[in-house]
């Protein structure tokens, strides 16, 4: 089963960390990327670069910034091909965002028939 691992980060969680600490955190993300369950992943540009699109009464409405006004922003995602949900959850729990003021959401992907 494939799972999306959505990584919500507190953009201030890395403030004040020195280069060695930042390198260590990056290493933790790379370790998950190197896990055999890893299929794909990407890091997103900061939330301030987002544009939210909405159509209301046929009119295109554009808003600068991410959709939700929350403390955490979607910072990136991984796709895992794990044998079961417990395996995907264990891997998600290894991500720094899960313990540094953010949250990691794990969601099964739908298999499309095409």
Q: Is the pLDDT of residue 111 over 90?
A: no
Does 114 reside within a domain?
no
Query: Does residue 37 lie in a domain region?
Result: yes
What pLDDT does 70 receive? 63
| Count of domains observed in the chain | 1
Q: Which two tokens stand for residue 8?
A: 């919500």
> Each residue of 33-47: pLDDT tens digit?
999 999 999 999 988
Query: Per-residue DSSP letters for 64-87?
Result: ES-SS-SS-EEEEEEEEE-SSHHH
Stated pTM of the model: 0.85
Question: What CATH code is carried by the domain that includes residue 78?
Answer: 3.30.70.1060
Taking only the tens place, the pLDDT of each residue in 52-97 is: 899 999 999 998 876 666 677 889 999 999 999 999 999 999 999 9
Q: To the nearest whole percent, how much of the chain has pLDDT over 70?
A: 95
The confidence score (pLDDT) of residue 66 equals: 67
Query: pLDDT, tens digit, for every residue of 87-108?
Result: 999 999 999 999 998 999 999 9
Range of the structural domain that residue 31 is part of: 2-108
């Amino acid at each position: 089963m494939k799972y999306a691992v959505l990584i919500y980060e507190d953009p201030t969680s890395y403030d004040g960390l020195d280069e060695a600490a930042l390198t260590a955190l990056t290493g933790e993300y790379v370790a998950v990327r190197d896990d055999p369950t890893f299929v794909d992943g990407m890091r997103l540009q900061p939330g301030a670069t987002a544009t939210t699109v909405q159509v209301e009464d046929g009119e295109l409405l554009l808003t600068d910034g991410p959709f939700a006004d929350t403390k955490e922003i979607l910072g990136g995602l991984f796709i895992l091909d794990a044998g079961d949900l417990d395996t995907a959850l264990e891997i998600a729990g290894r991500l720094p965002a899960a313990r540094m003021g953010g949250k990691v959401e794990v969601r099964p992907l739908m298999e499309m028939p095409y």
